[in-house]
Amino acid sequence: MWICPKCKRQFKNKNQMHGCHQLTLEDITKKRSERINELYKELHSKFRFKDFRREVVPPDVIFYKTKSTFLAVKLKTKWIDVEFFLDYFMDHPIIKKYLQTSKKRFVYVVSIDNSDDINHELLNWITHSYSLISK
């Protein structure tokens, strides 16, 4: 693990490029509606990860990390984008977009705009993403 001497954030790779500007959770939630904040709280409350940290950075992104990032939650005005990594390709109707980042790594984006979107399937994908990074 490498710790940036300026912002004290931890990264997997030495001298990893990043922006040192950090925000607080309050910085980004105060700009959002009560509905979006409640939706984020509900999503976060479903996580059962043992060891992780949250880093909040511009533009209103909450990174969930262990050795590296396994989840990014982006608070939008009317919905929340949830980005996670899997080691397999999938084609599913709720996938908003995806990107293959290596031979066996894909990043997926799912938008949630109500509590029903925080379902067992999404939580399983996020948990699998966590397991890939925390091995």
Per-residue pLDDT tens over the stretch 44-74: 999 999 889 898 988 889 999 998 899 999 9
Check if the beta carbon of residue 86 is closer than 8 Å to that of residue 134. Answer: no
N- to C-terminal Cα distance for the chain? 15
Is the distance from CB of 69 to CB of 83 less than 8 angstroms? Answer: no
CB 109 within 8 A of CB 98: yes
**pLDDT tens digits for range 13-47:** 777 666 666 778 998 999 999 999 999 999 999 99
Task: Tell me, yes or no, whether 1 lies in a domain.
Answer: no
Number of domains comprising the chain:
1
11 assigned to some structural domain: no
Question: Which residues contact residue 2 at a Cβ distance below 8 angstroms, ignoring those fewer than 6 apart?
Answer: 10, 11, 12, 13, 14, 15, 16
Mean pLDDT for the stretch of residues 76-98: 96
Has residue 40 been placed in a domain?
A: yes
Q: For residue 104, give its domain range.
A: 20-133
Strand partners, 53: 65
Q: Is residue 31 part of a domain?
A: yes
| Residue 13 domain flag | no
Q: 120: helix, coil or strand?
A: helix
Residue 103 lies in a domain: yes
